[in-house]
Amino acid sequence: MRDYRRRLLERPPARGGTAVTGFPRGLAAFSLEGKKALVTGGNRGLGFAFAQALADCGASVAIIGRGTAANQAAVRRLADAGVQAHAIGADLSTDDEVRRSVDEAAG
């Protein structure tokens, strides 16, 4: 076996940081400092995970969901993880609510 292949196989798996190629890997590859992220369905499940990941990359995060209680619970969970998030209650099935939500998130 070639020497470089043996070294790759012996190397522990990378978690974030730098990949074998020397390029950033995973979330470490993204810097969203100074950016705003708007996550629909961000109060639970995959949307919540996306909101947390975007915040981990430096984005300012707003989540949108229909349930006010679920939105506030998600904001508290994010705050417990050190993430400041803004919750927007909206039903995105209407154009007016979409516009209002985006305006609120951007403001």
Asked if residue 72 lies in contact with residue 44, where contact means CB atoms within 8 angstroms, the answer is no
- Report how far residue 106's alpha carbon sits from residue 39's, in angstroms, rounded to the nearest whole number: 12
In whole angstroms, what separates CA 67 from the centre of its chain? 20
- Report how far residue 77's alpha carbon sits from residue 57's, in angstroms, rounded to the nearest whole number: 17
List the chain pLDDT tens, one digit each, 107 residues: 455 555 545 555 445 554 444 555 566 667 888 899 999 999 999 999 999 989 988 899 999 999 999 999 999 999 998 888 999 999 999 999 999 999 999 98
